């Protein structure tokens, strides 16, 4: 069994979405509420951090170092976990420093993280420099990869499949946003380990299907090996839809805005503009195109990220609707 520090609010609820199901005239819709994991507004990274922080503590680390985008949910949750368990935290944020402090950027600062701003092309170099700097300062650093997406982090979502099956085992599809790949890799291994018979489809937030299929299949293989599952995963087994990339990562368009509105107005459920908003937009379009049959049960895995809703420019765009 992997070392673990338990601090996530688990199991997260599984809830039906009856009004949205009726409005979209599609399959039976359900949601897995990983926006309710409890750590600084929650999100899927909290599951991963239970195992990553345990590994950091085991190694004697004192400083957590990781990277993400300007409004990174992963960075916000890592900063919160560092506060809770007595680590220092350095976040390498790829992108231009915002003129206004809002959303996850506000929370990163509020949680006392050291912020390093770099261009995306310099992210890996800056991570190595931050690691070296912490070591030179006499702190034992621990590097958490982008999105917490290594075998240890992905393992958390393998175990989450068992949690889901204990709650609802007759699902035909699991739909969710896929980006750094750890969540999807973990779900694939968990499906193999615990016997989930449905299909798993990631809606890409930023990468091509080919890129995600390659990275997720490799990570799933590493995760399976870590958990003693004798299984390799081909790229063809990794189901990814990359038709909803819009104007690019972090760019909220009309499909995302409609998805946020529909989930809010029909179910009182708040999504985020980058990850779950894009995945929900994809789900809605697939329903309208008849991708699912009316009798199927489709679960949307809510991976969190709601603080980004209050960041510039998303708040202004949504307020103007």
| 109 pLDDT more than 90 | yes
Q: List Cα–Cα distances, 24 to 19, 158, 169, 222, 280, in angstroms.
A: 9, 31, 23, 39, 12
Residue 209: both structure tokens together: 């299907």
Domain 14-43+149-319: which CATH class?
A: alpha beta
| 289 pLDDT more than 80 | yes
Count CB neighbours of 164 within 10 A: 24
- Average pLDDT estimate for 283-287: 98
Annotated catalytic residue 72: yes
On average, the pLDDT of the chain sits at 97
| 293 pLDDT more than 90 | yes
Residue 96: both structure tokens together: 């231009």
| 1 pLDDT more than 90 | no
- Average pLDDT estimate for 217-232: 97
Per-residue pLDDT of 155-204, as tens digits, reads 999 999 999 999 999 999 999 999 999 999 999 999 999 999 999 999 99
pLDDT at res. 2: 95
pLDDT at res. 249: 95
Tell me if domain 14-43+149-319 and domain 45-147 are identical in fold: yes
SS3 of residue 170 by DSSP: coil
pLDDT at res. 270: 98
Residue 102: both structure tokens together: 């809002």
pLDDT at res. 79: 98
pLDDT band of 309, cuts 50, 70, 90: very high
Q: Which of 59, 72, 158, 204 is catalytic?
A: 72
Distance CA 276, CA 34 (A): 11
| 320 pLDDT more than 90 | no
Per-residue pLDDT of 32-73, as tens digits, reads 999 999 999 999 999 999 999 999 999 999 999 999 999 999
Strands (E), the chain: 14-16, 28-33, 63-69, 88-94, 114-118, 141-143, 173-178, 199-204, 239-241, 297-302
- Average pLDDT estimate for 18-30: 98
Q: CATH assignment of 45-147, given 3.40.50.300, 3.20.20.370, 3.40.50.1100, 3.30.9.10?
A: 3.40.50.1100
Give the single-character DSSP code of 235. Answer: G
| 321 pLDDT more than 90 | no
Per-residue pLDDT of 116-154, as tens digits, reads 999 989 999 999 999 999 999 999 999 999 999 999 999
Q: Where are the domains of the chain?
A: 14-43+149-319, 45-147
């Amino acid at each position: 069994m992997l070392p673990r520090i338990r601090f996530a609010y688990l199991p997260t609820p599984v809830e039906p979405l009856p009004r949205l199901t009726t409005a979209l005239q599609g399959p039976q819709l359900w949601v897995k509420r990983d926006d309710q994991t409890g750590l600084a507004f929650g999100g899927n990274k909290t599951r991963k951090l239970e195992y990553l922080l345990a590994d950091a503590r085991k190694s004697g680390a004192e400083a957590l170092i990781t990277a993400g985008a300007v409004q990174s949910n992963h960075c916000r949750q890592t900063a919160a976990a560092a506060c809770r368990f007595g680590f220092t935290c350095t976040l390498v944020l790829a992108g231009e420093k915002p003129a206004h402090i809002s959303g996850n950027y506000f929370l990163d600062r509020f949680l006392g993280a050291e912020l390093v701003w770099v261009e995306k092309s310099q992210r890996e170099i800056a991570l190595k420099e931050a690691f070296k700097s912490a070591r030179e300062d006499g702190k034992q650093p621990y590097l958490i990869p982008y999105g917490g997406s290594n075998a240890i982090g992905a393992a958390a979502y393998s175990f989450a499949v068992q949690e889901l099956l204990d709650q609802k085992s007759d699902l035909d599809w699991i739909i969710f946003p896929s980006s750094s790949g750890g969540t999807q890799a973990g779900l694939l291994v968990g499906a193999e380990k615990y016997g989930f018979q449905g299909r798993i489809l990631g809606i890409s937030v930023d990468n091509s299907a080919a890129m995600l299929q390659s990275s997720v299949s490799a990570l799933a293989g590493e995760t399976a090996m870590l958990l003693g599952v004798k299984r390799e995963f081909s790229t063809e087994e990794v189901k990814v839809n990359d038709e909803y990339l819009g104007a690019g990562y972090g760019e909220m368009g009309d499909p995302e805005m409609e998805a946020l509105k529909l989930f809010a107005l029909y179910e009182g459920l708040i999504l985020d503009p980058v990850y779950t908003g894009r995945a929900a937009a994809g789900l809605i379009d697939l329903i309208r195109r008849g991708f699912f049959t009316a009798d199927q049960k489709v679960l949307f895995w809510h991976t969190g990220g709601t603080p980004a809703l209050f960041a510039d420019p998303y708040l202004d765009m949504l307020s103007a609707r």
